Amino acid sequence: MSSNAEVRPPLPPFTRETAIQKIRLAEDGWNSRDPEKVSLAYTLDTKWRNRAEFANNRAEAKAFLTRKWIKEREYRLIKELWAFTDNRIAVRYAYEWHDDSGNWFRSYGNENWEFDENGLMFNRYACINDLPIKESERKFRWPLGRRPDDHPGLSELGL
């Protein structure tokens, strides 16, 4: 764990309500597609596994996010609580995107997160599967950016 002067509420230990709040803040950040902004939610020495790629610090996480959002165009994400403990949260999520050839995908996954005392994530383990979809099968059609509060979540969408 890293000692950081930065603080990112809500802080552990998590309750159901604060875990859901932390998840929505993460979703909002990733939907911004701003690697600098998103990277600030992680410790300087954060450790990630994302598919077959590993990040060993915040700078590597930021570089990963930069590459990700160049490849994954019109990215829209929904995250949902799966489980939580004192300083850990498990989420399931889905996101839709297209590649530079216009091929659409819905990517499904699970993440395990571990936070330091300041609310910064120091471990992130992600497992993801990509499902090719037709543009007509998309379910995430809000304008790019934050998912509207009245947009259905994963469970409501049957995902």
CATH number at residue 118: 3.10.450.50
What is 76-130 written as a DSSP string?
Answer: EEEEEEEEE-SSEEEEEEEEEEE-TT--EEEEEEEEEEEE-TTS-EEEEEEEEEE
Domain count for the chain: 1
Tell me which residue range forms the domain holding 51.
16-91+110-128
pLDDT digits (tens, 9 = 90+) for 99-126: 999 999 999 999 999 999 999 999 999 9
Domain contains 48: yes
pLDDT in tens, the chain (159 residues): 444 479 999 999 999 999 999 999 999 999 999 999 999 999 999 999 999 899 999 999 999 999 999 999 999 999 999 999 999 999 999 999 999 999 999 999 999 999 999 999 999 999 999 999 999 999 999 999 999 999 999 999 999
